[in-house]
Structure formats: C-alpha cells, structure tokens
Structure 1
Amino acid sequence: MTSTSDPAASPAIVTAAVLVIGDEILSGRTKDQNIGFIADYLTAVGIDLTEVRIVPDVEDRIVEAVNALRGRYDYVFTTGGIGPTHDDITADAIAKAFGVSIDVDPRAVELMLARYQATDLTPARLRMARIPAGADLIPNAVSAAPGFRIGNVHVMAGVPKIMQSMMDAIGPTLAHGRPLLSETIEAGTGEGAIAEPFGAIAAANPDAILGSYPYFDGTRYGTRLVVRARDPERLKAVAAEVAAMVAALHARA
C-alpha cells in the first residue's frame, strides 16, 4: 500500500476501493448513482479504483468490509448510512472498526447550526453530528451535516448530490498517482475472430492492460478493443500493434 501522508507526492500507483452501504441498494429499491461518479473522479486524478463492495445495513458486515478494504488499499470511500434514522449505522460501524468511541461532535453541531436553528436540532438530526473520536470532518455544502475521514477511510452520504459535494471537498487532500491512459480500437468484428491474436498481444505486453468489449448495435456484432497504460509511449506502441492486428485480419477476410 502506497503512503499517502503527503498529498503533493505523486507515487506511481495509488489505489482505492468503494464500499456502498445500504439495504435499499441490495434490494433494488434505490439505483446506485455513486459508483460511476467516484470511478470517473478517481480516474481523472490518477487513482485506481480496484474494488467495489455493497453491504447491507448490518454492523458486523460493515466492520468486516471496512477493515478488509482499509488494509488493502490506499483509500476507502464509503457511501450511505450516515443519516438521521435508526438504520443509519455507518458511523457507529466505522467507530467499531477503528476501535474508537463515538459521540456528538461540537464541530459537526456548529456546521449544522448554519442551516438549522438550535431548536430544530432534534435528537434525530443530532445523529448526523455523531463522529468517531479522532476523525476529521468532510464539509457538506448541500445540507450541512458533514461526512468524516478517519485513517484512510472517507465516509460520505448516499444522496448523490451530497456525496458529490463531499468528493469535491476531499479531492485536494488526495495523493494523485500517474493516470492510466487509454485508447480504443474498433475491431469491426465479433470477439471470436480476434480473441487469439489479441490475447497474444496482451501476453507480450504485460505493462499494458488490454480489454475487449463486445456489443450488438441492432444489425451486427462488434468489439471495441481498449488498451490502457500509464506511459504514453507504451500506450501508443501497443495500440498501434492492436490496430495492425485488426487491419491484417480484415485484409485476409
């Protein structure tokens, strides 16, 4: 795992995982909109999102997942379960995972007072001000109730607009790695025709990531071949090799 104590430092590879928390996601009642946004955001700043998990609102399952992911990746981003209702248990689970206490945080209360009158801070709303000991707050420009960061775990709301504002607040604190560049080559045929030579190119270029993505456009099958690499010269060279392979196959057809 790469050290990320200095956000200005740019190690070659920075890794991350997303943990989505909520029964409503697993039941299909709520359609997740956060994974794609986080993936795009991290890719743009050179952080590799390499794992996504979805767990129910069950404390032991959240604790287990958080502890597994935070030990494996540079960053963990969680969404969901930090609201005012009884089933919003993420903050308590994170505190348990880190072995720290949790209580209403005066800093969080101060932020919420910018939106609510003191008399409106009901016990339910104050649940959103409960922060694990030692955590830093993540500002919430939309509805005031903050997220928080403890260790390498960033705990954010599940509401997409709020989560996105929290990601914008987090962004400057993150170490950025070398971005993974990509180039797409249209194969003009199904996967079966290109699988063997494409696999050979992949095996010969272990410093690049090659993927094939078939599609059907309503009239014909096709495949988009994607080459990814951190070094632009290597990307250019391997993509050219793939393009030459595709051209040769069509020339023989």
Structure 2
Amino acid sequence: MTLNQSLENPPAPGNQVCKTAAALIIGDEILSGRTADTNLNTIARFLAALGIDLLEARTVGDREDQIIDALNALRHAHDYVFTTGGIGPTHDDITADCVARAFGLGIEEHPEALAILERRYGDELNAARRRMARIPDGGVLIANPVTDAPGFQVDNVFVMAGVPKIMTAMLEDVAPRLRTGAVVHARTLRVTGVGEGAVAATLSEAAKASRDLSFGSYPFGAGTQGEIGTNLVVRGRDAAAVEAAIAALSERLTAEGVAVALQPA
C-alpha cells in the first residue's frame, strides 16, 4: 500500500485492535524556528487513514541524551514510533547512533545501504556520505525513492529523513509494515454568530451522552472584525454513531437559536 493509496482507500472497519503511535521530530533547525516542521501533519494524516491513533509527538534538538530519552519513553508507550531528521551526512546527524544506543545495539555500515550509496554517488562517495550507510545492527532499510539514502526500522521504530519530500516518499515503504485498524470518522458543524463559550454547555452534554465519541470545538474569528464562530467536530470509529451524534447536536443547537451548518464529509 502506498501513501496515496492509504489516504484515498482506508481499510474497512473490522475487529482490528487499535494501534497507537508517536512521532519524534529531531533537529535544532526546528526548535530555532529556522525550519517550519510539516512532517508531523503528514504523519498524522498518513496514520489516520490507516486507523492508527497518533497519540503523542515530541520535538527535540540534535542532542544525544535528549533523543535517546525521548525515544525510549515513546517506544515503550506506543506500538509505533516515527522519527524524522538527523540521518544525513553531517556531523550533527546523530539519529542512527542514538537509536543504536537506545536499543543497546552496535552500529556499522549496512552492506545493502552502502551498495545503494555507491550506485548513487560513484567516485563521489566520500566519508561524509558513507555515514548514511551506518545502520544499527539488525535494522531493516526503508527505501528512499527521492535521493536513495535509506532510512531504517528497528523493532517498532521507523527512522526517516527530515526533508519533507523524502520523508513522505519513505512512508510508502513503511505502510505495508503496519497493522491497520478501524478508521476514525469525523463530521463537522460550523457554528456562526456566537463564540464557543455560548455552545460549550450543549457540547459538553453531548459528549457526556456519547462517551465513546470525541467532541471538539475549534473557534475562528475571535478578536477580528470578521465572522465569529466555532467548528464543532465529532469523531469516532462507528460511522453511524458519529452521524447520529452530529444530527442530534445540530438539532439541539438549532432549537437554541444558534446558526449551524453541517460541513461536507
């Protein structure tokens, strides 16, 4: 299953056990504000389409102890961990070494990874580029169809590039390795003319009545001269239950004189 296939053709609901995931975004450039991270959004959408719940995300700098501590915490708490950044050819690309230390593994040049780089660079394969062939012992390569230099998987940890185009392409090789679950369905009511405080009590009552669903409020227009309102979102793995809840919420708010519009699914 490719990334586009996973987003366009999610798995059918079934009796799959729900899997959870975490993302670890690595790089001083993210924390400094020099680079805007978009990988987290891509990973979240990718996993949602597969019925895997992304429950946690952390961002750390290029500091060994910080990476190792975060990785160990996340890999023990979730079924899958996805890291981005720190697997390039420069001195501050230390993710592979940190993963090896976290798992208590050795690290050396992976024959297949080295062969890939030799084909890519030929006589220009210098010592810096060879660093990208260093993989923790037992690691399984993740294909990189953009620049060839592979990522890798160790146990439940998937280590990918930080460049968004490359990371997204790597997800296509990751998708078939994951156990999927029932997809989360979502419907949205757009409330206009009032702030979210005006509908908070009604939303809270709806949430109490359907505890197996998730109810969220996402305001817009506050403090501006334009339209004010909030988007009320109902999420759940039972599509029929989501539809019933959003219909009941819409009916209740309309009866209270609140302007609502059900958004396209």
Contact 1:10 1:176 in 2 (8 A): no
For 1:1-253, list aligned pairs within 5 A.
11-117=16-122, 119-188=123-192, 189-216=194-221, 218-250=225-257
* CA shift digits 1:43-102 (9 cap, x unpaired): 111111111100011111100011100011111000000000000000000000000000
Unaligned 5+ runs, structure 1: 1-8
Unaligned 5+ runs, structure 2: 1-13, 260-265
AA of the residue aligned to 1:230 = R
Q: CA deviation at 1:114?
A: 2.5
Contact 1:105 1:129 in 2 (8 A): yes
Give the number of equivalent residue pairs: 243
Name the CA distance, whole Å, in 2 between partners of 1:170 and 1:59. Answer: 25
Name the CA distance, whole Å, in 1 between partners of 2:22 and 2:150. Answer: 21
AA of the residue aligned to 2:157 = V
Any idea what SS the aligned residue of 1:50 has?
strand
Q: CA deviation at 1:159?
A: 0.6
* CA shift digits 1:4-58 (9 cap, x unpaired): xxxxx96231111100000110000111111111111111111111111000111
Q: CA deviation at 1:220?
A: 2.4
Name the CA distance, whole Å, in 1 between partners of 2:16 and 2:81. Answer: 17
Contact 1:114 1:144 in 2 (8 A): no
Contact 2:213 2:234 in 1 (8 A): yes
Contact 1:10 1:175 in 2 (8 A): no
Aligned to 2:262: none
Segments of 4+ in structure 1 off by > 6 A?
none
AA of the residue aligned to 1:197 = T
Identity across matched positions, percent: 50
Aligned to 1:3: none
Name the CA distance, whole Å, in 2 between partners of 1:133 and 1:179. Answer: 34
**Considering only aligned residues, what root-mean-square deviation do their CA atoms show, in Å?**
1.5
For normalisation by structure 1, the TM-score amounts to: 0.93
